[in-house]
Chain A
Amino acid sequence: MNLFLLSHELCALLLGLLILLVDLWLPPSEKRKLGYAAAAGIGVLLIYSLVQFSVGTIGTQYAFGGMYVLDPLALFFKRFFLVATLIVMLMSVEFADRIEAGIAEYYALILFAMTGMMFAASANDFSTFFVSLELITVTFYVLTSFLRARLPSLEAGIKYLIIGALSSAFMIFGIALVFGTSGTLSFDKLAATLPQFAQNKIFLFGLLLVLVGLGFKISMVPFQIWAPDVYQGAPSPTTAFLAVGSKAAGFVLLLRVLFSAVPEVTKHWVALLMVLAGATILYGNLCAIPQRNVKRLLGYSSISHAGYLLLGISALSAAGQSAVLYYLSGYLFTVLAAFTVICLVMRQVESADVAELAGLHQRSPLLAGTMTLAMVSLAGIPPLAGFFGKFLLLKSVVEAGARNSGYYCLAFVALAGVVISLYYYFGIVRSIYWSKDAADLSAIPVSPSIKLALFGCIAGMLFIGIYPNPLVNWAGEAVKVLR
């Protein structure tokens, strides 16, 4: 077996172990700086990935007897997770003074979660699918409740634990039924023999249970109940990582299962996918309106974005799939920018109320500007990344409308969702610039590494929005492996 194929995962794992090991010899005052070492390691890994692997020549290669696949789609998501983790790591260094003990473990767990995500990007079998998903989920239980002296963090962790374990149980039972009826766990073999049991009720029920498990991961209605509570209670870097990494891992697995393992069944489930997408968009956007807590608001907003992403999946076309990849990339920079600002501004306060953003443009114009750009991008205003992503998703849905007129209704629901979302996103912008009752106007210090992360996010949002072509082409190349 060619271990070179697994070099992303192996390097990430070794980096995590190294951080844990070095932690033993460092004096407590120096431990915080380990995060910079971890971020540098991720940066080197990203450069290595860009130099050693190229989308054009990688082709499709297998490891572990076909359980693990390295193809352009996997490569796209591996780099996606590397970029996301790099920014989250810089955010965690900033957050380190609020964690009483075990900051090195926090860094290491982030790296282990990233390893799980990268394995998930390459899953080509229900066993790698399950193990990688659990590696992500179990590390996130710990990351969520890391501030264990604070009740909200602990409570968020327990809620995530119970609901996450429940979703795993559904998923495993589904996998058992799929295995029992089809006799295989491999996605490729499943796709090859699918016509024999595509009508089998038990098989379809098993597949539905797997979909339930993934629905929890991507916070799809009706499995979204955990998201607002966990987003609110978890430490800010964890929330950011959950919003970007965990959701993207759920989507890459969803793409693999729906379009690589069971493409024929997916065609019969169009109506179901459309209803789920529409309900998720409306639920997320409507429930976000009354929220006063910024992190909770972003929790509901992330539910609605899961709905937009489902649009691309329900379109059942290569255009829709590549739009999902494009949208996730824009979402990465946007959400990480927003959470970096929240992480810096809500430093002393426990609650993260919208009112605490008041007067931010006087306290730190950079942070205010970044937050505004992030909100504008999330709302989908040109020329930022969020606009072009939504445009591509809607375009793929409208194109599919020629096959089934239900798509036009779905596009209308999505547009209504965008209009509703303008209200609450601009509520945040308003409280930054036009709020009168700012209690505290002291300047917020921004460290150079965070400045770098923020400028990276801003550049990402603008570049992806203004020059979408390179990314669109790359995403189009990546989804060619799906059926």
Chain B
Amino acid sequence: MTPVGLEHYLVVSALLFALGLFGVITRRNLLIIYMSLELMLNAANLALVAFSRFNGNLDGQIMVFFIITVAAAEVAVGLALIVALYRKRQTAHVEDLTSLKL
């Protein structure tokens, strides 16, 4: 059995990123879209940690800490916005976000 190498991590990371992007494009519920976005961020985190481990350079792992912190702040603001929208419109679907037009 071959040991798990950098390329395995990168393939998983790319798959996660693609799955997240697919979710953002196809899903219609804001919460699911937001979940998919987090998946994309974590795909990047996985790639950074793997690169960091295999290159023997800790900068990438420090970067991951920054990303996790920023992502937490982003989720807090994002969920608050989605809740505010739900209170106002009783919906969290992107089709209902159509008041801004020409």
Chain A residues near B100: list those with CB within 8 A. Answer: 152, 155-156, 159, 228-229, 232-233, 296
Query: What are 16 A-B pairs at a CB distance below 8 A?
Result: A130-B66, A130-B70, A138-B73, A155-B97, A159-B97, A159-B100, A162-B33, A165-B78, A166-B24, A168-B41, A169-B41, A173-B44, A179-B59, A179-B63, A180-B10, A183-B57
Q: Which of B30, B63, B77 has a CB less than 8 Å from the CB of A141?
A: B77
Interface residues of chain B, those whose CB is within 8 Å of chain A, are 10, 13, 17, 20, 24, 30, 33-34, 37, 40-41, 43-45, 47-48, 50-52, 55, 57, 59-60, 62-63, 66-67, 70, 73-74, 77-78, 81-82, 84-85, 88-89, 97, 99-100, 102
Does residue A131 face the partner (Cβ distance < 8 Å to B)? yes
Question: Could you tell me if B66 and A131 are in contact, using CB atoms closer than 8 angstroms?
Answer: yes
Residue of B nearest to A148 (CB): B84
List the A side residues contacting B88 at CB < 8 Å: 148-149, 151, 154
Interface size on A, residues (CB 8 A): 45
The 8 lowest CB-CB distance pairs between A and B, nearest first, are A180-B51, A169-B40, A172-B44, A176-B47, A173-B44, A229-B100, A134-B70, A176-B48
Contacts of A165 in B (CB 8 A): 34, 37, 74, 78
Name the A residues within 8 Å of B77 (CB-CB): 138, 141-142, 161
CA distance A175 to B73 in the complex (A): 20
Does A155 lie within 8 Å of B99, measured CB to CB?
yes
In angstroms, Cα B44 to Cα A170, docked, is 9
Find out whether the CB atom of B81 lies under 8 angstroms from the CB atom of A157: yes
Instruction: Select A155's contact among B57, B59, B85, beta carbons within 8 Å.
Output: B85
Bound-state Cα–Cα, A173 to B17, Å: 8
| A176-B84 in contact (CB<8A) | no
Q: State whether the Cβ of A470 lies closer than 8 Å to any Cβ in chain B.
A: no
Q: Is A177's beta carbon under 8 Å from chain B?
A: yes
Q: Could you list 18 further interchain pairs (A-B, Cβ under 8 angstroms) beyond the known A173-B17, A179-B63? A: A130-B67, A131-B70, A149-B88, A158-B85, A161-B78, A165-B34, A166-B40, A168-B41, A169-B17, A169-B20, A173-B40, A175-B63, A179-B51, A184-B57, A229-B100, A232-B100, A292-B102, A293-B102
